[in-house]
Amino acid sequence: MNKPQPPLYFDNHATTPIDPRVVEAMLPFLKEHFGNAESSQHPYGWKAKAAVEKARVQVADLIGAEGKEILFTSGATESIHSAILGFLEEQSPGRHIITANTEHKATLEVCARAKKFGHEVTVLSADPQGRITAQQVKEAIKPNTAIVSLMHGNNEIGTIHPIAEIGAITSEQGITFHVDAAQTAGKIPIDVRAMKIDLLSISAHKLYGPKGVGALFIRRTSPGVQLAPYIVGGGQERGLRGGTHNVPGIVGLGLACAIAKEGMAEESPRLQAWRDRLIHQIQSSLPDVLLNGDPKNRLCNNVNLTIKGVAPDDLLLGLSDIAYSSGSACTSGTVSHVLQAIHKDPKLLSDPLVVTVRFGLGRFNTADEVETLGRRLIEAVQNARAVSKG
């Protein structure tokens, strides 16, 4: 009997499979090199410390920073907390934050918390393609604006924000600029100096590294950004983040960054070509399929479609051999805040015969798999539409 095949994986915005080279590099630090990076009196500690410092430089190299500007965290959520709340703790009360309504919940919830601490928040509205302009940021600036926090690429609809243009404005006005690069680090070249970024959040599991580890870039060129520690304790990470280092995870993050840096120029255009072919394949075969997000300024691996005339459950059944993400309307009762932000017609999202699907292509997909995905989606939509017509 044939073994059942695992579903084809197209949910690379949620998480990426770990690169086998990263696993190999981590293994010795789970086995023989198990030392604590803060143990300064024996070789176990020295080995761990050297590995952590090597990874710090590898992360920095990916974004045009220096090793001493990298803080290791547990992932992008923690980096965002440290960046925004750690920064505001060093400020006087009543400061102003600018963010946007399509941000990841990690940012939106942190801003809501900052509000509780007496700060003011402006949430900019993205346009129907999920875009925020530099002009919008400029117009929202007030005398008490202290920090702008925006994502580089959107995890749902793939829209890429004009980070360098916004950075030019914030740096000119002396406002700190935090960028959530969870979806773009390793996919789009990032140069924190050229883009005038002060704080930048990264997550390893979005770039073929392990889960539970990430980094925060904190600009240290003079005058450096001052942050209060978000997690206090043993004084690790220059006192900014207490807790024993996750040495295997940090080693994995470092190598994941080095691999991404080396391969990006080949990998991103390849995924982008597959992305465009997939969108064309689907839209030329099916009517009533809308592409969400910016068609041009878009993550190289993102396909997000709203499909009319299909019940989400029927599609799910028809596509059980594909791992993807569905931001469907009524069934789960959870229409994503990003779709709500860009779809000005609320009826579209509450229609029980409308479904939104997100496919995230990744390093380990093949051209054949992407072609299969397109074919399977077209069949599944045609069948589901036939069912719903009765």
Q: Is 298 in the site for ligand PLP (CB under 6 A)?
A: no
Q: Is 73 in the site for ligand PLP (CB under 6 A)?
A: no
Q: Which residue, 360 or 374, has its beta carbon nearer to ligand PLP?
A: 360
Q: Which of 35, 75, 130, 318 binds ligand PLP (CB under 6 A)?
A: 75
Buried b (16+ CB within 10 A) or exposed e, 287-315: eebebbbbeeebbbbbbbbbbbbbbbebb
Q: Is 249 in the site for ligand PLP (CB under 6 A)?
A: no
CA distance 296 to 289: 17
Q: Is 246 in the site for ligand PLP (CB under 6 A)?
A: no
Q: Is 76 in the site for ligand PLP (CB under 6 A)?
A: yes
Q: Which residue, 151 or 225, has its beta carbon nearer to ligand PLP?
A: 151
**Is 111 labeled as catalytic in the residue annotation?**
no
Q: Residue 201's beta-bridge partner residues?
A: 180, 216
The 3-class secondary structure across the chain, one letter per residue, is CCCCCCCEECECCCCCCCCHHHHHHHHHHHCCCCCCCCCCCCHHHHHHHHHHHHHHHHHHHHHCCCHHHEEEECCHHHHHHHHHHHHHHCCCCCCEEEEECCCCHHHHHHHHHHHHCCCEEEEECCCCCCCCCHHHHHHHCCCCEEEEEEECECCCCCEECCHHHHHHHHHHHCCEEEEECCCCECCECCCCCCCCCCEEEEEHHHCCCCCCCEEEEECCCCCCCCCCCCECCCCCHHHCECCCCCHHHHHHHHHHHHHHHHHHHHHHHHHHHHHHHHHHHHHHHCCCEEECCCCCCECCCEEEEEEECCCHHHHHHHCCCEECEECCCCCCCCCCHHHHHHCCCHHHHHCCCEEEEEEECCCCCCHHHHHHHHHHHHHHHHHHHHHHHC
Number of amino acids touching ligand PLP (CB under 6 A): 12
* CA distance to 10, 41, 328, 356, per residue, from 304 (Å): 12, 53, 12, 7
Query: Of the listed 111, 257, 300, 330, which one is catalytic?
Result: 330
Window of 26-34, 69-77, 267-275, 382-390 that interacts with ligand PLP by CB under 6 A: 69-77
Considering only residues 30 through 49, tell me which ones interact with ligand PLP, judged by CB under 6 A.
Answer: none
Shortest separation between residue 200's beta carbon and ligand PLP, angstroms: 12
Angle subtended by helix axes 247-285 and 43-63, to nearest 10: 30
Q: Which residue, 180 or 237, has its beta carbon nearer to ligand PLP?
A: 180
Q: Which residue, 190 or 380, has its beta carbon nearer to ligand PLP?
A: 190
Q: Which residue number places its CB atom closest to ligand PLP? A: 75
Shortest separation between residue 379's beta carbon and ligand PLP, angstroms: 30
Window of 73-81, 236-244, 305-313, 321-329 that interacts with ligand PLP by CB under 6 A: 73-81
Q: Which residue, 58 or 203, has its beta carbon nearer to ligand PLP?
A: 203
Q: Which residue, 26 or 80, has its beta carbon nearer to ligand PLP?
A: 80
Q: Is 77 in the site for ligand PLP (CB under 6 A)?
A: yes
Considering only residues 328 through 367, tell me which ones interact with ligand PLP, judged by CB under 6 A.
Answer: none
Q: Which residue, 11 or 165, has its beta carbon nearer to ligand PLP?
A: 11
Q: Which of 52, 62, 108, 151 binds ligand PLP (CB under 6 A)?
A: 151
Q: Which of 8, 63, 97, 106 binds ligand PLP (CB under 6 A)?
A: 106
Q: 202 and 184 in contact (C-beta within 8 Å)?
A: no
Q: Is 149 in the site for ligand PLP (CB under 6 A)?
A: no
Shortest separation between residue 77's beta carbon and ligand PLP, angstroms: 3
Q: Which residue, 188 or 348, has its beta carbon nearer to ligand PLP?
A: 188
Considering only residues 168 through 227, tell me which ones interact with ligand PLP, judged by CB under 6 A.
Answer: 180, 182-183, 203, 214
Window of 28-36, 74-82, 290-298, 307-315 that interacts with ligand PLP by CB under 6 A: 74-82
Which parts of this chain interact with ligand PLP (CB under 6 A)? 75-77, 104, 106, 151, 155, 180, 182-183, 203, 214
Residues noted as catalytic: 330
